[in-house]
Structures are given as C-alpha cells and as structure tokens.
Amino acid sequence: MDNPQDLDIGIVGLGVMGENLALNLAGKGFAVGGFDLEAHKRESFTARTVGKPARAARSLAELVAGLRAPRKLLLMVPAGAAVDAVIADLRPLLAAGDVVIDGGNTRFTDTQRRITELADTGILYVGAGVSGGEEGALRGPAIMPGGDAKAWPLIQPMLQAIAARADDGKPCCDWVGPGASGHYVKMVHNGIEYADMQTICEAYWLMNQLLGMPAAEMADVFSQWNEGELSSYLVGITADILRYTDTRSGEPLVDRILDTAEQKGTGKWASQAALDLGVTAPTIADAVFARTVSAVKDERVAASTVLAGAETKVFKGDRTAFVEKIRRALLAAKVCAYAQGFQLLRAADREYQWDLPFDTIASLWRAGCIIRARLLEDIRKAWGRQPDLANLLVDEHFARLMAECQEDLREVVATAAMHGVAVPAFMSALAYYDAYRSPRLPANLLQAQRDYFGAHTYQRIDCAGKFHTKWN
C-alpha cells in the first residue's frame, strides 16, 4: 500500500470491536486504516495486522488523507460525547459525498440529531447497529445500517462481505431505512436480547430452585433444548456455562458467580421507547427491572430475613414432565418477547415513516447476532406472508404455537408463584398474551375513575363522542 490514498475504509476506535472488524475487513481483501487516541491500541492493531492490507495512522488527519474518495469511515467509539467529539474533528477533513458510519450502540435519537446537524455538509451519515460481540466482529456480525440512502451503494460491498451468513447463504446485513432506523432496530434487538436472556435465566432458576437440579444436569437439558425449537445462540452458551467447572473451587463456575447483573442502557432505551410510543412491551421492561433488582443485593439479603414467602420450595410433582413444561413455557415467553419487539418496530415505523422491512430485519437476525435463533426463520416467513401483520401472535404459525404452549406457561407461572420463585419475565409474557387476546379489559372502570377525579371524560359503547358525569 505505497499510494497515500490507497485505503478502502478507515476505522476510528481500535478497541475489541473496532480492531476485530478491521481484521475481518482486511481478511476479505479490503485495505483498512485504523486510528485510536491510545498508542497501545494502535500498536496492537499494527501487530495483529502484519501481512494484511492494513496500517495504523498517528492522527485522524493522516487516516483521512490515506482514504480513497469518496472516503468511508467507521466509528467504533463509546456512544455519547465521544462520537460527537470525533465528528467535530472529522468535519473539516471531509467533503460532500464522504461517508461516516457510527457502528456503536448509539441511542437512535442521538443519531437522528447528528444526521440533522450534518445535513448541510453533504457528508453521508449512517447509523449501523452491529451485533455479535468480539467473535462476531471478527468472524461475521449481524449489521443493521440505516441513514442517508446515498451511502448504501458505497458501503454495501464491504459491510455485506464481513457480515455473517444465514443458512440460506444470505448476508446478515442489509439496508434498514432512512434516518436513525439502523440504531433503532439495534436497540430493539437488544431489548429482545434482554428478555431472551431473562427468560432463559428463569428457566434455569426454576430447575435449580424447585427441582434441585445440579448445573451439569441442567447443562444436558439446555443442550437437548438447543437441538429443537429453542435452538439459539443464547440457549447454546447457557449449556456451555452450566457445564464449566471453576478451577479454584472445583464447583460449577456459575454457582460461584455473584447474583447481580449490570446493563449498558439499550434495554432501558427500548423500554423508554415503548412508553414514548405507547407500545405494550412488559417482558422487555421486566427484564430490565430484573437486572435492577438484582443490583440491590444487600437489600435483598436483608429483606429475606423479614419478608414472608411461600412455605416450601420443594416441588412434589413429576420432575421430567415439569422440565418439559418449562421448555414450552420458555418457548411461549420468547415468542411474546419477539412479538413485543416487532410491535416496537411497527410503532416507530408509523411515527417516523421509515418504511421498515420487517421480514428483512428478521432475516438479519438469523445469524451473527446475540439473539440468533431457529425461531427467526419462522418470524421472517410470518412477515413475508403478511407485511401488514398486526402482531406476531396472530400469525397462523405463532397462534398455533401459542395455543400449544400457553397452558404450560400458565402452569409454570402458577407453580413458581405458589413456591415463591420470582419469574417476572414469564409472568409478564403470560399477562401480555392474555391481555392481547381479551376482547374486553377493565379500562372501562379506569375511564370512569379518570372522569371522576379529573373530569377527563369517557367514551361509551352505545354511542360516539366524549362524555362527562357528575359522579357525586
């Protein structure tokens, strides 16, 4: 690469994700430049790319100067102020027609603001959700780009070349839509991920607490589940985790890990978006709340000595049959979580007029990403059959599946409640399913209450209009 303008793409931010994406690109034959403010990361990049079409730059200006026109840059820096700072430094170095891709976990509202701020520069801005973690970045992630459509022909060959491939050979990367749609889709992906992880944790906890199953036995169960309808990346790694032995204690490592969980905010953003757009997404929100309650470990320990609960956690029924009921309950809860995620997508599509391709989005999640699962092929087919589907639950395939599994979900939730085992995601999934299938709900009383104390009026079932009553 002797020509000073010989780079196909520049990557700003050479952390784990940025460096591995660079290696992925270089491995596919693209000439890659990298820059990071930290010298040791530039040195690591140089060491890992020996013999590949890649080099580190000592400054942003040097990186930009080495790019072919129109120049293409991928930002892999922490979301928030760091992205704004990099954009501010890049603006005077770039020209109309150049492309800036934000590949971080950026809040979609920030992406929309940046698109607006760059509108008069001619710089083409893309918000691209990237999922798959460290391994995915290196071997093939799922990528969800959206923004200025003029950028897509310029970046499509590179992004699709490094993306994961589904079983049908299609790349798990395609154009999502205008504006901040790419980062919104990634946010919804992460919201579903939160719910997916929590439901799996609840299935594990039921087997642990009610059936007293050791980690190795549960590992075998999850391995079996991973061969059927529940086949997914998260179920597979759960089996691996449960089978792993701690070298220090000789016990299953999972039993030595503190029961608190952190979060980076994307699940919270998805829950907030649901409230802002008036979307029912309780399983996603309860998965976030499950993490927040796990964080107050000292309070929970203290409360356990004060608060009453179920008299016993000993399950006296058929153990094998109950494990199968947990499997079907998990499947039903996962479907409800996906349904809520796609409702979030539908609401944003109406609000922002993005014209989102729901079947394509499901297709992008079939490989590479954290929520990749066998279920997603059926979801893709559902949206392909009926692009205006009101809710995934009413698709013929998923309606039939829920009919087969809903009684098991009820029994598992009831058993957990009677034995004092917290399963908030299972419970909220069941409540979501029952509420959505109910032709009448108690909101008639709620309307009357609002009218009573605030004169907010109410609607009637027998005539049109708004009404107010003097209740006393």
| Residues identified as active-site | 186, 193
Helices (H), 73-171: 81-90, 108-117, 133-139, 152-162
The two structure tokens encoding residue 449: 């209450």
DSSP states along 330-341: HHHHHHHHHHHH
Give Cβ neighbours of residue 145 (< 8 Å, ≥ 6 apart). Answer: 101, 126, 127, 128, 129, 152, 155, 159, 173, 175, 176, 182
Could you tell me the CA-to-CA distances from 22 to 134, 253, 269 in Å, in that order? Answer: 12, 33, 28
Cα–Cα distance between 35 and 69 in angstroms, integer?
18
Which is nearest to 272 in space by CA: 376, 188, 388, 391?
A: 188
Distance (Å, rounded) from C-alpha 38 to C-alpha 430? 49
Compute the distance between CA of residue 98 and CA of residue 121 in angstroms, rounded to an integer: 10
| Tokens describing residue 241 | 């985790």
Question: Measured at the alpha carbon of residue 67, what is the angle toward residues 4 and 57, in degrees to the nearest 5?
Answer: 75
Give the whole-angstrom CA distance, residue 121 versus residue 451: 52
DSSP for 354-423 reads ----HHHHHHHTTSSSTT-BTHHHHHHHHHHH-TT-S-GGGSHHHHHHHHHHHHHHHHHHHHHHHTT---
- How far apart, in whole angstroms, are the C-alpha atoms of residue 440 and residue 347? 23
Strand order in the sheet with 72-75: 54-56, 32-35, 9-12, 72-75, 99-102, 124-131, 142-147
DSSP tag of 122: T
**Which amino acid makes up residue 238?**
T
Q: What angle do CA 427, 430, 435 make, to 5 degrees?
A: 125
Bond prior to 70 in cis (omega within 30° of 0) = yes
